[in-house]
């Protein structure tokens, strides 16, 4: 039985009515915390998946197999490949390490925002080259990075470590 149905009858009994209000608030807080906890789990899964994708792609840019290096060198200069490789490895670290250590966890949002810039540029690059399947993949990853950036910023931010 919820407090909405029995509350009018109990208004004359203030102490009991107050207890019911407190119980109702605690139940709502418990539901909210459960939802935030679920959101936190989903966000960690998204962060790890994005980090793994950027780790693999960054590694490929830094250390390409010889047969792929020829194709990559034909479309992008080597200095730009190295820049992208380092940036993507740092993005992978930025998505996970600040949250795990809880030292400067706001960097997770910054890393996700940086990834959004890289992915939007990659989407345009693939569309110009007519690589529709690659553009769709980067667009989906852009949506995931946007979700991580916004949700870690506004909905379920990671708390900083407190000094004891």
What is d(CA 135, CA 123) in angstroms, rounded to the nearest whole number? 5
In the numeric block, the tokens 């793994």 are attached to 52
Span 148-158, average pLDDT? 94
Average pLDDT score over the chain: 88
Structure tokens at 98: 């600040």
Residue 13 covered by a domain: no
Residue 71 covered by a domain: yes
Residue 29 covered by a domain: no
DSSP 8-state code for residue 2: -
Q: Which domain holds residue 50?
A: 44-155
Residue 24 covered by a domain: no
- Per the structure, the count of domains in the chain is 1
Residue 52 covered by a domain: yes
Determine the 3-state secondary structure of 28 from DSSP: helix
Residue 104 covered by a domain: yes
Structure tokens at 92: 């992978």
pTM of the model: 0.78
Residue 91 covered by a domain: yes
Residue 58 covered by a domain: yes
Instruction: State phi, psi for 13 to the nearest 5 degrees.
Output: -105, 80
Span 107-124, average pLDDT? 97
Structure tokens at 109: 């949002």
pLDDT 10s digits, 5-58: 555 555 555 666 666 666 666 666 566 656 778 889 999 999 999 999 999 999
Structure tokens at 43: 């966000």
């Amino acid at each position: 039985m919820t407090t909405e149905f029995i509350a009018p009858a109990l208004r004359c009994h203030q102490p009991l009515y107050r207890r019911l209000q407190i119980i109702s608030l605690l139940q709502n807080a418990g539901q909210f915390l459960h939802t935030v906890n679920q959101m936190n789990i989903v966000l960690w899964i998204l962060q790890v998946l994005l980090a793994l994708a950027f780790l693999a792609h960054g590694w490929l840019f830094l250390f390409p197999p010889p047969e792929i290096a020829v194709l990559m060198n034909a479309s992008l200069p080597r200095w730009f490949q190295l820049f992208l490789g380092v940036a993507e490895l740092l993005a992978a670290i930025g998505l996970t390490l600040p949250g795990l250590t809880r030292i400067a966890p706001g960097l997770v949002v910054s890393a996700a925002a940086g990834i959004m810039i890289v992915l939007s540029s990659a989407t345009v690059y693939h569309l110009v080259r007519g690589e529709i399947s690659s553009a769709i993949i980067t667009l989906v990853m852009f949506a995931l990075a946007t979700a991580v950036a916004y949700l870690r910023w506004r909905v379920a931010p990671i708390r900083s470590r407190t000094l004891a």
